[in-house]
Each structure stands twice: as structure tokens, then as C-alpha cells.
Homo-oligomer: A and B are copies of this chain.
Amino acid sequence: MSIKGLFPIDKWDFKSESVLADLPAEDFDLLTAHQTEQVYKKGEIIFREGAYPAGIFYIKAGKVKKYKLDKEGKEHIIYVANKEELLGYHAILSEDRYPDSAASIEESRIAFIPKEDFLAVLNQSPVLNRRLLKTLSHEFAVLANSLSMFAQKNVRERLALQLIVLREKYKVNFKPGMPVEINMSRDDLANLVGTGRENVVRVLTEFKESGILQTQGRKIIINDVNQLIIIADYK
């Protein structure tokens, strides 16, 4: 029953969809009519799991972690959202409370769009509907991928994978061809990979010794992505 690697889907496609790009001007204007902008300092919470949503967020600059807390308060980061991504719309669409929390992992500039405006545009814009359906099903596929990776891969492989993904997200800050620096705390990285800080450090040291990457304080500089791809995809 187990066919080996038939039609493998491209696991390295992590591009995030921009929901708002190319929206008809009319829709875009209505959507942004009452937006308010706010700067979130590093670590500041944007919304909390279980709270009722009052609107959606649009990241104009910075990076945001979406995470869940377990009973002991330990967080697991589900996703790192980059600038130009939309945030917190799942709760409104599912007519429920936030399924996860969000906080900035670096100083971020974020616009808030009231729920009413979002729903108003949703009711009149087939383009936004279609865009959201596409984004949501893409997100679903990415999440399903993360889930099975968790089930099937070890810490080393998961970390390699996350470094590849993060590299894409941090790329925008650096000139093409220049080495990309990932600036993320070991704790956040560990919570993303689903392990402890110590284990992340251990594997990073190993990668450093293999010449795959360098570290400068907290910064991680990726030298050899291909090597990471081989590790992440190995098993």
C-alpha cells in the first residue's frame, strides 16, 4: 500500500500569498477606510488565543509569530508571518474565537482593519472571496506538511527545514546574492521546531562545524542552503 515517493509535491514552496495585492481599488479603499496603524515592540502581543476578534491585521513591516500555549505556558510557534501578510482573519471567517495567539518577534508596524469593513468588502467582492479561498487552502497545505514533518522527522531535520523557511522570510532584508542573516532568539527557534533551546543549540553547533552556517551572537548566517535541503529531505 505504500508507494514510494510517487508524484512528490514541492516541499520547498513556502511563498506566502499576498491577499491584498491587486485587489480592485474600490474594494481596497473600502477595506482600508478606517484602518489604524500601530507599532508593536519586540515581543508585544497582538491578539490572544480564545479572544473574540474585532478585526484583522495587516503587517506593513516586521515579523510576527503565531503560536499556541500549553497548560504550563510553554509556547509552540505555528507560523512566522512576514510583512505584507494578513493576520487574524481565520477567527472572523470561522465565526469563532482566535485559535492561536500572535506577537511580534521584531519591531513591527501593523494596520488594524475593523471587522465590519472586512465583512462588508467580503460581501461584495468576488475577488476577495476567491483570493481568501486560495490563500486558506494554500495555508492548509503548508500546515498539513508541517504536521506530517513533525510526525516523521527528527529535531535535526526539522531545524534544517525551518532554517530554509526562515531564510526565505529574512531574504527581503538583504541584497540578492548577499548571505542572509536570520535574527531570531534560540528560544523562538526552539518553539518553532518544537523542542528545547538546548537541542537547537546543539544542532546549530553541529551545522556550524559542517560549514553549513555561521553564527554571530544571535544571528545565524546561512552559507549552504543546499546542504540544509539535503538534511531536511533526507528521510
Known: A2-B73, A5-B71, A152-B76. A138 touches B97 (CB 8 A): no
On chain B, the residues within 8 Å of A209 by CB distance are none
A235 contacts chain B at the CB level, 8 A cutoff: yes
Q: How many copies, total? A: 2
Cβ distance A163 to chain B, nearest Cβ, rounded Å = 17
A178 contacts chain B at the CB level, 8 A cutoff: no
Known: A76-B152, A133-B133. A147 touches B143 (CB 8 A): yes
A100 contacts chain B at the CB level, 8 A cutoff: yes
Is there an interface contact between A4 and B96, defined as CB atoms closer than 8 Å? no
Interface size bucket, A side? 35 or more
Is there an interface contact between B150 and A151, defined as CB atoms closer than 8 Å? yes
Cβ distance A160 to chain B, nearest Cβ, rounded Å = 15
On chain B, the residues within 8 Å of A7 by CB distance are 48-51, 97
Complex partner residue of A93 from B5, B71, B90, B137, CB under 8 angstroms: B137
- Interface on A for B, CB 8 Å cutoff? 1-9, 43, 48-51, 67-76, 78, 89-91, 93-100, 103, 123, 126, 129, 132-134, 136-141, 143-148, 150-153, 194, 233-235
Please list 29 pairs of residues, one from A and one from B, whose beta carbons are closer than 8 Å in the complex, sorted by A's number.
A2-B73, A3-B69, A5-B71, A6-B48, A6-B69, A7-B49, A9-B49, A9-B50, A9-B97, A70-B148, A70-B152, A72-B235, A78-B147, A90-B137, A90-B140, A90-B141, A93-B133, A94-B137, A94-B138, A99-B140, A99-B141, A99-B145, A100-B144, A126-B129, A129-B129, A129-B133, A136-B140, A143-B144, A150-B150
